[in-house]
Structure formats: structure tokens, C-alpha cells
């Protein structure tokens, strides 16, 4: 979409952005400049919190402290031109870490996104990502789950539910990420009842928590999916359950700061949503989708 083509009068925001201190491309300033150029009013930065196992896609412990310390200055630099908030995308790994851990609440950051990216192989202790290359998803499917997709999907949504029960986060990140490598129904068909039941059960738990579900366009911007997270039929259920939504791009590149936003707002209207949530000056508020 070209800059300046948004529906007028709405506050446009994105709370899910990575940068070159974790697995994103570009400096923080490039994300701010891109947001201003595209008429966004608010951006939130949300690098991956360091994990409890070796990896190449999160902040290091030193990087986390550097990031938290740099945010007040970065925000001040943009003053009235752009509202900037400091967040963190925290993985949930049972027995290892999660957004409820106090350490993520003591960094002076303003919000947290709770996300599940990987599933542990109980035999090897290895954490295999559903967000990684197709080969990694295939290994998870073949080795950890003996070529049976149902327990894999079930474990994914079970982890989401465990994370929801523990809380400690504002936004539930890309809540059906398990579909990322499912292009052309390579692993499962979302229309099948067993899959829908797993996803719906998770949404029902989310509805009972003080959490905002994220509509995330990051699968689209990276060419991995043909739809947003969560899928349209899940958004219909979110609407029935009165679950508040926010819209974010999971940008790993400054050019993607508002990727597919206008189309996503149209989709939300189509499934019945009349309002969307945004975070500003310490609180989450709703506004009509125009």
C-alpha cells in the first residue's frame, strides 16, 4: 500500500517490530522514520527476549539491557512526531521461561507480547521452531511426533493455553503460528474439525483472560502465509467471544511497518468487528474502525 492511503481519523499503530539487535533488519531509527513516512501515529518495539537455550534469533542478555536502556532516549528523540513504546516479545517455554517471569517486568518496558515459537522434543531436549525453515517443521513432525500432525498441533495450542493461564503479557502474539509452514495444506487442513477444536479451545481460554489478541501480518510480509494470524474463521470466533484485537505487522524490516494494514482492517470489519485496540500513554483503549 502507498503511504497516506489509510482511512482518515483513525489512530494507526503497530506494536510488533524487531530490529538489528535481534533478528530484524535495520536500526531503530529506520523503523521510526518509516512509520512517520507512512502516517503511523504509534509504534511499539518488541525484540525477542533472550531464550533459555542457544539460538541466533533473539537479543542476548547484554542486548536486552542495552535495548531497555536505549529506549527512553530513542522515544525522546521523536517527541511529538511519533509515539514510541517499548515492548518485548517473550517466549513461553515450560520450565524455562515465560512472560509471567518477574525479570521481564523489571526492565522499565511498557508492554509484553506472549508468543510460542517452538516445541521441545522430549527425547533430545531440542527446541524445534514452527516459525523456522520448513525443514525444521518437518523434523518436528517426523521425529518428535512420529509423522502425526495432530499431537503436534495439540501441543502447540496446549502451550498457548499454559502461557495464557500464567499471564504476564498484554498481547497474545500470532496465536496460530503453527500454520506458518502449512502452505498448500502440507501438514493439515484447517477446515478439519480436530484442528478447529484445538484452536477454538485456545480462543475460549483467551476470552477469559485480560489479554488482547494480535492480528499479525508478518506471515504475509515474509511470503510464508496467504493470510493473517489468526485465520479469518478464528477471527469470527474472536468476535463471538468479544475478544479485543490489535493490529501489528511483526516487522523485521522498516518497509513492513504497516504491511497489509488497510486490507486487515477491512477483514476485521467483514468478520463483524467495529472497534480495535491501541496502546497509548500507559493504557489500552478502543477506537472505531473507520
> What does the DSSP 8-state code read for residue 48?
B
Q: Write the binding mask 124 to 163 for Zn ion: x where contact by CB under 5 A, - elsewhere.
A: ----------------------------------------
Binding flags for Zn ion, 28-47, as an x/- string (CB under 5 A): --------------------
CB 4 within 8 A of CB 39: yes
Minimum CB–partner distance for residue 268 and Zn ion (Å): 20
CA dihedral of residues 58, 63, 64, 68 (deg, nearest 10): -130
Q: Find the shortest distance in angstroms from Cβ 264 to Zn ion.
A: 16
Least distance between Zn ion and beta carbon 123 (Å)? 25
Give the DSSP per-residue string, 93-117.
Answer: BTTTB-TTSGGGGSS--SEEEEE--
SS3 of 15, please? coil
Q: Smallest gap, in angstroms, from Cβ of residue 231 to Zn ion?
A: 17
Binder to Zn ion among 14, 86, 115, 221 (CB under 5 A)? Answer: 115
Spatial contact of 178 and 230, defined as CB atoms under 8 Å apart: no
Q: How far apart are CA 39 and CA 22, in angstroms?
A: 25
Closer residue to Zn ion (CB): 110 or 250: 250
221 binds Zn ion (CB under 5 A): no
Whichever of 115 and 264 has its CB closer to Zn ion, that residue is: 115
Which burial class, exposed, middle or buried, applies to 208 when counting CB atoms under 10 A from its CB (0-12, 13-18, 19+)? Answer: exposed
* Choices 94-102, 155-163, 245-253, 276-284; region in contact with Zn ion by CB under 5 A: 245-253
250 is an interface residue for Zn ion by CB under 5 A = yes
10 or 100: whose CB is closer to Zn ion?
100
Helix (H, G, I), strand (E, B) or coil at 87: strand
Per CB under 5 A, the segment of 51-59, 162-170, 190-198, 250-258 that binds Zn ion is 250-258
Region near Zn ion per CB under 5 A, out of 37-45, 71-79, 89-97, 143-151:
89-97
Give the count of beta carbons closer than 10 Å to the beta carbon of residue 149.
18
In this complex, which beta carbon is closest to Zn ion, that of residue 115 or of residue 225? Answer: 115
Select 23 or 236, whichever has its Cβ closest to Zn ion.
23
DSSP 3-state of 75: helix
Q: Is residue 107 within 8 Å of 46, Cβ to Cβ? A: no
Q: Identify which of residues 60 and 197 has a Cβ nearer to Zn ion in the complex.
A: 60
Q: Please give the Cα distance from 171 to 162 (Å, whole number).
A: 15
Stretch touching Zn ion by CB under 5 A, among 28-36, 73-81, 227-235, 246-254:
246-254
Hey, what's the cell of 95?
520450565
By CB under 5 A, how many residues form the interface with Zn ion?
A: 3
Q: Which residues bind Zn ion (CB under 5 A)?
A: 89, 115, 250
Amino acid at each position: 500500500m502507498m503511504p497516506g492511503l489509510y482511512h482518515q481519523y483513525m489512530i494507526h499503530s503497530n506494536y510488533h517490530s524487531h530490529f538489528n539487535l535481534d533478528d530484524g533488519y535495520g536500526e531503530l531509527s529506520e523503523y521510526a522514520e518509516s512509520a512517520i513516512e507512512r502516517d503511523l501515529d504509534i509504534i511499539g518495539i518488541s525484540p525477542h527476549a533472550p531464550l533459555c537455550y542457544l539460538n541466533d534469533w533473539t537479543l542476548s542478555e547484554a542486548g536486552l539491557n542495552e535495548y531497555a536502556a536505549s529506549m527512553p532516549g530513542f522515544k525522546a528523540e521523536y517527541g511529538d512526531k511519533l509515539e514510541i513504546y517499548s515492548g518485548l516479545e517473550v517466549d513461553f517455554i515450560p520450565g524455562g521461561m515465560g512472560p509471567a517471569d518477574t525479570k521481564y517486568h523489571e526492565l522499565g518496558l511498557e508492554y509484553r507480547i506472549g508468543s510460542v515459537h517452538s516445541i521441545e522434543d522430549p527425547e533430545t531436549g531440542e527446541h524445534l521452531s514452527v516459525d523456522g525453515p520448513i525443514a525444521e517443521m518437518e523434523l518436528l513432525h517426523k521425529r518428535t511426533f512420529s509423522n502425526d500432525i495432530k499431537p503436534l498441533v495439540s501441543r502447540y495450542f496446549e502451550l498457548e493455553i499454559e502461557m495464557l493461564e500464567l499471564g504476564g503479557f498484554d498481547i497474545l502474539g500470532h496465536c496460530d503460528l503453527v500454520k506458518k509452514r502449512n502452505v498448500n495444506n502440507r501438514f493439515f487442513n484447517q477446515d478439519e474439525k480436530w484442528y478447529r477444536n484445538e484452536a477454538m479451545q485456545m480462543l475460549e481460554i483467551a476470552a477469559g483472560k485480560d489479554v488482547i489478541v494480535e492480528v499479525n501480518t508478518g506471515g504475509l510480509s515474509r511470503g510464508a502465509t496467504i493470510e493473517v494470524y489468526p485465520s479469518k474463521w478464528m477471527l469470527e470466533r474472536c468476535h463471538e467471544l468479544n475478544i479485543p484485537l490489535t493490529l501489528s505487522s511483526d516487522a523485521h524490516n522498516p518497509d513492513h511497518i504497516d504491511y497489509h494494514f488497510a486490507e486487515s482492517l477491512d477483514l476485521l470489519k467483514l468478520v463483524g468487528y467495529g472497534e480495535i485496540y491501541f496502546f497509548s500513554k500507559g493504557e489500552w483503549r478502543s477506537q472505531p474502525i473507520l
